[in-house]
């Protein structure tokens, strides 16, 4: 059986990833495709417990290396439990975040560097690479404002606290934003950069165009 297609969505919190991954999944379903949708951190029983620890504001004392180790523990579980089995069955996997997030947030934001992140990815994740990565990169200000308002609404409605990263200063997010740009420049064959404060429909159109092209390459394998 032909191996499946692995598509990831990346970007700052508030960049619109959640909205776009839902729209992309719906677009695929209308065409008779049923993608496996995953997220990181989370998406497995173990991963959801790790997610709660990582994102809860009460976890403010996490050391950067601890934070990164937890991200990779979650990812290893998701690969073993969800991603690899789906790809082996020839399915399309849509994943909200993957190792690019760790390189951007821990490598860039926490200043742990790309080398450590990429080596851990090789060792822990078997160097599994997405076939295509859709990187949403609106302005830093737009992303932060949207993320903070969203999390305030979520906390008020459900009592779930996932605000730990939103409490970081702008300098942290500036480093994350810049690291994402570095990743896109380093890997242009994999990363599709969708930049600027675009309307939701405009972003969706660019995503569909990129995914349609990846389908074409996929069927040539």
| Residue written as token pair 């599709």 | 192
- Average pLDDT of the chain, as a whole number: 90
Contact 147, 14 (CB under 8 A): yes
Global pTM value: 0.90
Higher-confidence residue: 218 or 219?
218
Q: What is the pLDDT of residue 95?
A: 98
Residue 23 φ then ψ, to 5°: -70, -40
Contact 106, 117 (CB under 8 A): yes
Decide yes or no: CATH 3.40.50.300 for domain 5-219.
yes
Nearest alpha carbon to residue 126 among 71, 80, 86: 80
Tens digits of per-residue pLDDT, 54-79? 988 787 789 999 999 999 999 999 99
Domain boundary assignment for the chain: 5-219
For the chain, the residue count is 221
pLDDT at 151 over 60: no
Q: Give the separation between CA 110 and CA 176, rounded to whole angstroms.
A: 9
Contact 121, 99 (CB under 8 A): yes
Q: What is the pLDDT of residue 51?
A: 94
Arithmetic mean of pLDDT, 133-150: 81
Arithmetic mean of pLDDT, 1-9: 93
Q: Give the separation between CA 108 and CA 120, rounded to whole angstroms.
A: 15
């Amino acid at each position: 059986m032909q191996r499946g297609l692995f598509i990831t969505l990346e970007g700052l919190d508030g960049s619109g990833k959640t909205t776009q991954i839902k729209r992309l999944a719906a677009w695929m379903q209308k065409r008779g495709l049923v993608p496996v949708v995953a997220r990181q951190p989370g998406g497995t029983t173990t991963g959801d417990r790790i997610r709660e620890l990582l994102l809860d504001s009460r976890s403010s004392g996490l050391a950067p290396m601890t934070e990164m180790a937890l991200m990779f523990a979650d990812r290893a579980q998701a690969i073993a439990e969800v991603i690899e089995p789906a790809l082996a069955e020839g399915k399309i996997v849509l994943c909200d975040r993957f190792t690019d997030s760790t390189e951007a947030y821990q490598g860039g934001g926490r200043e742990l560097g790309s080398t450590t992140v990429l080596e851990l990815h090789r060792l822990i994740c078997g160097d599994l690479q997405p076939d295509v990565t859709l990187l949403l990169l609106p302005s830093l200000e737009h992303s932060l404002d949207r993320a903070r308002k969203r999390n305030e609404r979520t906390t008020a409605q459900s009592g779930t606290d996932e605000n730990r990263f939103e409490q970081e200063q702008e300098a942290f997010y500036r480093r994350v934003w810049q690291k994402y740009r570095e990743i896109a420049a380093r890997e242009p064959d994999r990363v599709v950069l969708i930049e600027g404060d675009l309307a939701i429909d405009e972003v969706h159109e660019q995503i569909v165009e990129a995914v349609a092209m990846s389908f074409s390459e996929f069927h040539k394998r």
